[in-house]
Chain A
Amino acid sequence: MPSSNTNESLIKNTSYKVVLPFYIYAALALLVACTLLAISSDVFTQHYFHPKTLAITHTMALGWATMMILGAGHQLMPVLIERRLFSNGLAYLSFIFAATGIPLLVYAFYTFNMNWPAQYGAIFINSAILCYLVNFAISLSKSKLENVHAVFAFTATLWLLLTTLVGLLLVYNFTLNILSEGSLHYLSLHAHMGIIGWLLLMVIGVGSRLLPMFLISKYNQPILLWYIYALINFGLLFFVINQIFLHQIVLYLVPVATILLALILFARYCLAAYRQRIRRQIDEQVKISLFSVLLMSVPLISFIIAIRELFNGKQDTKHVLLYGFSIFFGWITAIIFGMTFKTLPFIIWNKVYSFKAGMGKTPNPKELFSSKIFTAMVITYFAGFILFSAGIYLMEVIVLQLAALLLVATAILYNWNVFVLVFHKHRKE
């Protein structure tokens, strides 16, 4: 009787059971965020420190972006550190804590009830991040490999924990006055630790590994990535110190300059990887992920305008709103759209067809979702994003509402394709 053996320890991957709940949760969170956007579009003509704006932002930052990154992180962490995930149990625990905490926090913001729903929500979210961090730290400690991508991802997770800890303090500060200033004063600190420390570091760390891999690029420049790593962390630490101790407006230019330089270097890295690729044909998913790098220019321009206004002693809230909107609904969403349909079909294919590998014809992972729905989603997404950004700038509620409906349509199409994938059953070719 023929048999076979392989050294499984070298290839054992994270189970789909760990990863799928995060993907499903994130997809539903996007739908909730877009629906909230549609029913509360008018708040985007008001000050950014508004309960409903905070609810939408946290649905996007935690429910959509963070849940998706944590899910994909459990799958990609072994690729980055070349070592299997330490514990599936901690991954499940991380999901349960986050899945419970996020709705509590979003509900608390939406109704501006900063008592127990916000407090329990924040505690649960911190517990989820702690579980992920411990899992990552132990997995990393068992790995013999030290690479820049893993260091990026681990540092990003440390910044995420710091962000959620500051968030926890801010939540309690609403009722207990434990900080010297009001919560609005620390909002910028909390937001930028999350945006730069968590999201930007993670996107650059993982993106710089995946992009050359998907393009089969000859380009490899870890030293450039170390420079980017140093520039971002220096800039962010400088920003934190200035925000807490120094309070010098002119010193804000230092982190702006270092992070801007880091972004330019990363754009150069992506361009070089693209130019030196062996694979000429690029699929739609990679294209939209590459386009997200260009989309970073929208928050950048609005941020520079907001900073200029700060120097002139005035602040137009629309630039800050456009800055936040274009980060979560622009840059981050575009990356996730691309990467969902680059990774999820393979996870599902492995779940459904891996036992049949080499025993007959099976569908290609790319055939497990509808490319027509994907294209329709991309069209409604860009139309909705551009129109909503224009609506913020023009402060026109009707434009905002119309754009929000396009984004709801985008979220429905995204969920449709995700659930087509999740419920895919074995198909005979």
Chain B
Amino acid sequence: MNVITNDNFKCSIALVVLRDVIDPEICLSVVDLGLIYQVDFDEEYRNIFVRMTLTTQFCPMGDSIVCAVTHALENSFPEYTVRTTLTFTPPWKNTMISEIGQEYLNK
């Protein structure tokens, strides 16, 4: 799944950072799992808006994964405020896993 953004360059940096945020059950990054739907940059008020999902609602690790995404971006973009929003529309499907992710899981 492609990540929606208003700044391709900064989004690609953010996605590199988010590749270090791993779902501990599946051992794949939130990016390769397809959990990140949107990363927008608001230059005027220095905000980063992240819209993401989880593999299942009320996932026992959900809280930690969302916190990890927020903290990872805060560390890499200290001048911005990170605002992470969780959505289940559309719900996550295993077809959202990236090709790299599919290859890793198929090993």
Contacts and interface: CB of A to CB of B under 8 A. Distances in A.
* Prevailing SS type, chain A contact patch: loop
B94 A6 contact: no
A216 B105 contact: yes
A3 B81 contact: yes
Interface in A3-34: 3-8, 10-13
Contacts of B81: 2-4
Contacts of A4: 70, 74, 81-84
A115 interface: no
A386 interface: no
Q: Which of B55, B57, B58, B63 has the most CB of A within 10 A?
A: B58
Interface stretch (A48-56, A326-334, A346-354, A376-384): A346-354
Contacts of A350: 60-61, 63-64
B106 A357 contact: no
Contacts of B60: 13, 75, 79, 343, 346-347, 350
A358 interface: yes
B56 interface: yes
A78 B58 CA distance: 6
Interface string B62-81: 11111111111011001111
A346 B58 contact: no
Contact of B106 (A11, A280, A364): A280
Contacts of B71: 357-359
A7 B83 contact: no
B92 to A, nearest CB: 11
B106 A354 contact: no
A372 interface: no
A213 B86 contact: no
Nearest to B70: A4
A284 to B, nearest CB: 14
A10 B64 contact: no
A84 interface: yes
Question: Interface residue tally of chain A, by bracket?
Answer: 35 or more
Contacts of A278: 94, 97, 102, 105-106
A426 interface: no
Interface string B11-53: 0000000000100111100000000000000000000000000
Contacts of A217: 94
A357 B105 contact: no
A31 B68 CA distance: 38
B75 A359 contact: yes
A278 B60 CA distance: 21
A281 interface: yes
A279 B58 contact: no
B26 A279 contact: yes
Given A2-B80, A6-B66, A213-B55, 12 more contacts: A4-B83, A5-B83, A6-B86, A7-B86, A11-B58, A83-B58, A217-B94, A346-B60, A350-B60, A358-B67, A358-B71, A364-B24
Interface of A: 2-8, 10-13, 75, 78-79, 82-84, 213-214, 216-218, 278-281, 343, 346-347, 349-350, 353-355, 357-359, 364-366
25 contacts: A2-B80, A2-B81, A4-B70, A4-B83, A6-B70, A7-B85, A10-B88, A11-B57, A11-B58, A11-B86, A12-B63, A13-B60, A13-B62, A79-B56, A79-B57, A84-B58, A279-B105, A346-B60, A349-B64, A354-B67, A357-B65, A358-B71, A359-B71, A359-B75, A365-B25
